[in-house]
Structure 1
C-alpha cells in the first residue's frame, strides 16, 4: 500500500507540475499615469479614448492595470507639479494630454516613457526633434489640422469673409503655431487675421467683445483656455451676430455654427494603441509621432440662426452630425 501511495503521489505531482507548466504566465500589472492641462470635452474624450484602447488590449483596471489621472485645471505650475509627482511614481507609461502638460512631462524626465496627445505641433513645442522616430523616451499623437480646409469651411459659412477674428492664449504653443500659420496663409485668400489675447479662461469673453465690429467671423482652434470657456464666446457671437467656426467638434454642441475637426475620443484610442505598444515592449523612441486624418463635419442650425447665418442644404448633407 505504501508503494502504491508513493506512486499515486508521484503521478499527482507530475500532473500538477505539467499543468502548472502549461498554464500561461500571469500578466504583470502595468501602470499608466495620465495628466491633462485642463478638463474640457475634447481633452476628456482623449483620456477616455486612451482607456478604451487599453481595455480593448486586455489591460483592465484592478486586474492587470493600475492607472491614475490628474488635471492641472489650466495652471501650468500645477502641470509641472503633477508631472513631477507622476515621474516619481515611475509608471510604465506617462500620457500627457495637451501641449503644456506634455512640455512639463518631457522637461521632467528622460527615463519614463512619455506619450503626448492633442498636441498641435510637437516639434515647435520642443517635445521631439522632428516628425521622425525621436530616439528618446517621447512619442505621441498630434491633432494638427490642415488650415486650408479650415479656411474653406469658413468661406462656406461666411462667403464674403475678409477679416477673421481669433481668440487665443499667447502663452500656449499650440495656439501660437496656428495663429502664425493663419497669418501666412490667409492673404492667399484675400483675408486677414485679427487677434485677441485671452491669457486666462476668464479673459475669453472680454477678448471676444474686443473683436466686435472688427471681424466678419471668429475662428477658434483647440486653445485650452478658449475651449474651457466657450460659452463666453458663444454669448458674444449670439448677441452681436458674429458667426463662430471652430476646429473642435464638441464646440459645435456648445454653440459654434460649424467645425471640421477630429473625433477626440478616436484620437485618444489612437494614442492608447501607442501606449499598448510600449507596454508590450516597444521603445517610444522607435515610434514615429502620428497625426489623424479622420475628420468630421459638425453643424449647428440653431446656432447659425442666432448668429445670422443660413446653412446651405448641400453643406448640411455632407455633415457627420447636424444639431437642429
Structure 2
C-alpha cells in the first residue's frame, strides 16, 4: 500500500476515534446532568394533575434535565405503598409526592431520598415534618390549605346562603380530610351551623353517601378530599336534583359544577413545590432548610351556571371572580 495513503487512513482513523470518544464523553456528561424524579400520586383528578403540571414547569424553568418515573395508585392503599417501595428501590434523585397518602407512604419508605410534597393539607399532623418553619428531615413541600379558606367558606354559607346545617361527604381514612373536617366543625360551632357527616371509603360510595344527607342539610361542603373529588359529578348531580348548593375546596371543583370556592390554583402550589425541588437538586438547599409553604393568591371564585341552576343571584358584595 502506498505509504502516503496509509498515513492518510491512519489519520482518518485517529480522527474518527477521537470523535467517537468525544461523543461518548458528551453522552456520559449529559447522562450525569440528567436527574430522575420519582412521582407518586394517589389518584387521578384535575387538581392533582394541575399540581404535577406546575411542578414540571418549575423544574423546566430551572433548566433541569429531568427524567420522570410516574406512578399513580388510583386510590388503592396497597398500590400506594408498593409505589413508594419501588421508587426508593429505583434510587431516584428526588421524589415528588402529590397528596397526603402519597407523601406518608414515601416518607415511611426512606429517610435518605429528598421528598417534596404538594396537595397535603396538614403536614405536621400527617407527621411529615416537625414543624412548618423547620421540617427537620428529608421532607418538605407546599400545603393545599390556607388558614382563612375554611372560616371564609363557613361565613359565606351562613351569611349569603342562610345555611344552618351543612353536609360533608369525605373519606375518614384520609388524614387530610379528618383535619379539614375538624376545622370546619370548629368554625361551624362558632357561628351556629350544624354539620352532618357521611363517610366513604371508595369513590363508588360517594353518590349513595350524598343521597343519605338529603333532607337533613341546607347545603353541602366538599373539602379537598381525594376520594370524593374524584367522583364530584355524583355529588353535583344529587345536589342539583335537590336544589342544594355545593361549596367546594378548590377551583377545579368549581369548574366541574361546584357553586364556589375560596382557594387557589393547584398549578401554583405545584410550581412552588417544583421551585423547592430545584433548589434541592442543585445542591443549594436540603429539605430541612426549606420551610413548608402555604398557598399564595387566595381568592373567591363562583360558577355562574351553578348559581343559575340553583336560582341564586351573584351579589357584587361577594367580590367573586365569576366563571361559567
Q: TM-score range by the shorter chain?
A: 0.7 to 0.9
Cα deviation 1:199-257 (Å, max 9, x = unaligned): 11011111111110111110011100111000000011110001101011111111111
What are the ranges of 5 or more consecutive residues in structure 2 without an aligned counterpart? 1-21, 23-28
Deviation at 1:287, TM superposition (A): 1.1
In the other structure, the counterpart of 1:165 is 167
How far, CA to CA, are the matches of 1:204 and 1:152 in structure 2? 26
Matches within 5 A, 1:73-84: 73-84=74-85
Tell me, yes or no, if the aligned pair for 2:88 and 2:110 is still in contact at 8 Å: yes
In the other structure, the counterpart of 2:287 is 284
How many residues in Structure 1 have an aligned counterpart in Structure 2? 294
Tell me, yes or no, if the aligned pair for 2:154 and 2:187 is still in contact at 8 Å: no
How far, CA to CA, are the matches of 2:160 and 2:66 in structure 1? 46
Matches within 5 A, 1:270-281: 270-281=272-283
2:44 to 39, 46, 67: 39
Aligned: 1:297 with 2:297 = no
Aligned: 1:55 with 2:38 = no
Cα deviation 1:95-139 (Å, max 9, x = unaligned): 101111111010100111001111000111111122122221111
Deviation at 1:288, TM superposition (A): 1.1
Tell me, yes or no, if the aligned pair for 1:76 and 1:101 is still in contact at 8 Å: no
How far, CA to CA, are the matches of 2:275 and 2:229 in structure 1? 26
In the other structure, the counterpart of 2:314 is 311
Matches within 5 A, 1:1-324: 28-59=33-64, 64-145=65-146, 146=148, 147-155=150-158, 157-158=160-161, 160-281=162-283, 282-315=285-318, 318-323=319-324
In 2 relative to 1, CA 106–290 (structure 1 residues): closer, same or farther, beyond 3 Å? same
Tell me, yes or no, if the aligned pair for 1:249 and 1:263 is still in contact at 8 Å: yes
Tell me, yes or no, if the aligned pair for 2:177 and 2:225 is still in contact at 8 Å: yes
TM-score normalized by structure 1?
Answer: 0.87
Tell me, yes or no, if the aligned pair for 1:263 and 1:296 is still in contact at 8 Å: no
Deviation at 1:156, TM superposition (A): 5.3
Deviation at 1:171, TM superposition (A): 0.2
Tell me, yes or no, if the aligned pair for 2:158 and 2:164 is still in contact at 8 Å: no
How far, CA to CA, are the matches of 2:135 and 2:242 in structure 1? 47
How far, CA to CA, are the matches of 2:34 and 2:305 in structure 1? 49
Tell me, yes or no, if the aligned pair for 1:157 and 1:309 is still in contact at 8 Å: no
How far, CA to CA, are the matches of 1:106 and 1:32 in structure 2? 15
Tell me, yes or no, if the aligned pair for 1:201 and 1:226 is still in contact at 8 Å: yes
Once superposed, what is the RMSD of the aligned Cα atoms? 1.7
What are the ranges of 5 or more consecutive residues in structure 1 without an aligned counterpart? 1-19
Secondary structure at the counterpart of residue 260 of structure 1:
strand
Secondary structure at the counterpart of residue 237 of structure 2:
helix
In the other structure, the counterpart of 1:7 is none
